[in-house]
Amino acid sequence: MTQDELKQLVAREALKHVVEDAVVGVGSGSTVNFFIDALAGIKGRIEGTVAASETSAARLKKHGIRVFDLNSVDELPVYVDGADEVNEHLYMVKGGGGALTREKIIAAVAKRFVCICDASKLVGVLGKFPLPVEVIPMARGHVGRELRKLGGHPELREGFKTDNGNLVIDCHGLVITDPPRLEADLNNIAGAVTNGLFARRPADLLLLGEAGGVRALSARKA
Ligand code: 5RP
């Protein structure tokens, strides 16, 4: 099976976790695009969605699926999103597409986070994928220096602006042995809006697309 076929497989499997007559949280990225396309097939059975990026919102609307402002939503039973890396504790590195801040906000609101990935995303130790950090433009230099102090090699994502009008620094070379701790340390850097570590609010379920089918993994206790 190709990587896209694996992504499509987990995207379809995620439909089983969608709660009927409720609002669904929808992340962003290529795997989520397959989920959005699959969701279109059951759009009459959900109230609507909230979206983590303008790109996802546009795709949902193209399918005739309602997209709500998160502020108008009281309850979000399920959030479905991909990841750039995920480990056995269902801690993730996210933000490859630059939507990390809105993704983290929706994940915080959701009761249940279902992560959908192809098998290549499951890793032993997080950090091979450069860790994205969304940054207020005037803090770019300061955040870069702080990331260097933590042992990282920051690189500005050239020509990229987030949906919130900010910049993204991709931090290479971090060996992330204590993800919740590093997430908190990065949260403390002035001018860093969000970092792509999702450890304090990990996924609740991982649907992993493998050659033999979909494997469902719950978090192993840290
Ligand atoms: C975007 C994300 C995506 O979930 C992550 O980049 C995975 O994307 P893909 O499904 O295309 O591999 O965090 O900000």
- Tell me the two tokens of residue 54: 């303008």
Residues 6+ apart with CB under 8 A from 149: none
User: What are the backbone angles phi and psi of residue 157, rounded to the nearest 5°?
Assistant: -75, 105
- Which residues, 6+ apart, have CB-to-CB distance to 146 below 8 Å? 189, 192
- Cα angle 159, 163, 169 (rounded to 5 degrees) comes to 50
Q: Write the CA distances from 219 to 107, 158, 178, 193, integer angstroms.
A: 16, 35, 16, 27
Q: How do 112-118 and 78-81 pair as beta strands?
A: parallel
Q: Where are the beta strands (DSSP E) in 67-109?
A: 78-81, 85-86, 92-93
Q: Is the CB of 27 under 6 A from ligand 1?
A: yes
Name the residue with the closest Cα to ligand 1, atom 1.
97
Radius of gyration of the chain from its Cα atoms, rounded to whole angstroms: 17
Q: Is the CB of 95 under 6 A from ligand 1?
A: yes
Q: Which atom of ligand 1 is nearest to the CA of 116?
A: 10
Q: Is the CB of 49 under 6 A from ligand 1?
A: no
pLDDT for residue 221? 74
Q: Is 103 annotated in the active site?
A: yes
Single pTM value for the model:
0.97
Mean pLDDT in consecutive groups of 10 residues from the start of the chain, 222 residues: 96 98 98 98 98 98 98 97 98 98 98 97 97 98 98 98 98 95 98 98 98 93 72
Per-residue confidence (pLDDT) for residue 193, from 0 to 100: 98
